[in-house]
Amino acid sequence: MRRKTIVGNWKMNGTHESLDEARAIASVAREYPGVDVAICPPFTLITAMATACPSMTIGGQDCHGAASGAFTGSVSAEMLRDAGASLVILGHSERREALGETSAIVQYKAMAALSAGLDVILCVGESLAVREGGRATDHVTQQVLQSLPDMAGHGHARLIIAYEPIWAIGTGRTAGLGDIAEMHGAIRRALGDAGRDVAILYGGSVNGDNAGAIMALDDVDGALVGGASLTADKFAPIITAAA
Ligand code: PGA
């Protein structure tokens, strides 16, 4: 059985003042024990948020693929765990596009994260040019297959896929329900037998108004939410829709 999973990606937003908002989100989440709710704040808030919200899953937004070493400015998967995170978002399009992260790099990071015992949210998604060129499904399933870590021997760490069309992120545009259903089905087929248990989240301008219809689709197991995850007011209706 795949559980509904709602993950807030705070991106580069939030200081210690935002912990009250996180506490309010955690208290909404406690009302819906059937939904897995997580927040991925900036690195600087992980420990404080894990302490302030012990009932909620806290994640990072990236990690390095190496365990330690001379990588100025980077944070390893083990460090995320040590800070209080239990999952990590990897391969977000804002990193693939702006920082040149390839699927091979994402796969390397995913292996490190699983080895450290972190659940992994693997992000994939096509640009508008790729969608308009009719190559979205090919592009996204290739991204999945090339970024996918080898799950063997990684205990109970979970793999989650997040499909986020790049043109839908932060733009107020969401993909059509038919396109979302088709893409999630294609991703699940690409995963083969193992895909049965993998939660596939949709992301890109998800809000309280559109979340219900999107999550009612067959292969949509939840949402990865940016802007609407920053306040309990906006995030709560999405958690409710999942329940
Ligand atoms: P958005 O971001 O909900 O603000 O569109 C989603 C994401 O980038 O994960």
Structural domain includes residue 137: yes
Q: Best substitution site from 225, 229, 231, 234 to test ligand 1's pocket, by max atoms within 8 Å of Cβ?
A: 225
| DSSP annotation string for 192-217 | GGGGGG-EEEEESS--TTTHHHHHTS
Active-site residue, 156 included: no
Residue ranges making up the domain that contains 129: 100-174
**Ligand 1 centroid to 169 CA: how many Å?**
5
Q: Which is catalytic among the residues 21, 78, 101, 164?
A: 164
pLDDT tens sequence across 111-167? 999 999 999 999 999 999 999 999 999 999 999 999 998 876 665 678 999 999 999
Structural domain includes residue 191: no
Point out the ligand 1 atom lying closest to the alpha carbon of residue 168. 5
Q: What angle do CA 49, 54, 55 make, to 5 degrees?
A: 120
Structural domain includes residue 144: yes
Structural domain includes residue 182: no
Structural domain includes residue 200: no
The residues, any chain, with a CB within 8 Å of residue 237's CB and separated by 6 or more, are 207, 208, 209, 211
**Predicted local confidence at residue 146, as pLDDT:** 96
Structural domain includes residue 242: no
**Predicted local confidence at residue 141, as pLDDT:** 97
Q: Which is catalytic among the residues 92, 94, 126, 154?
A: 92
Structural domain includes residue 135: yes
Write down the residue that tokens 């992994």 correspond to. Answer: 120
Q: Quick check: helix, strand or coil at residue 133? A: coil
Tell me how far apart the alpha carbons of residues 216 and 23 are, in angstroms, rounded to a whole number: 28
Structural domain includes residue 186: no
Q: Domains in the chain: how many in total?
A: 1
Residues in the chain: 243
**pTM to 2 decimals?**
0.97
Tell me how far apart the alpha carbons of residues 218 and 57 are, in angstroms, rounded to a whole number: 25
**Predicted local confidence at residue 238, as pLDDT:** 98
Point out the ligand 1 atom lying closest to the alpha carbon of residue 123. 9
Residue-level pLDDT, tens digit, the chain, 243 residues: 789 999 999 999 999 999 999 999 999 999 999 999 999 999 999 999 999 999 999 999 999 999 999 999 999 999 999 999 999 999 999 999 999 999 999 999 999 999 999 999 999 999 999 999 999 999 999 999 999 988 766 656 789 999 999 999 999 988 999 999 999 999 999 999 888 889 999 999 999 999 999 999 999 999 999 999 999 999 999 999 999
Q: Best substitution site from 206, 210, 229, 234 to test ligand 1's pocket, by max atoms within 8 Å of Cβ?
A: 206
The residues, any chain, with a CB within 8 Å of residue 24's CB and separated by 6 or more, are 232
Tell me how far apart the alpha carbons of residues 25 and 153 are, in angstroms, rounded to a whole number: 34
**Predicted local confidence at residue 194, as pLDDT:** 82
Point out the ligand 1 atom lying closest to the alpha carbon of residue 224. 9
**Predicted local confidence at residue 154, as pLDDT:** 63
Beta bridge partners of 200: 161
**Which residues have CB under 6 Å of ligand 1?**
9, 164, 169-170, 203-206, 224-228
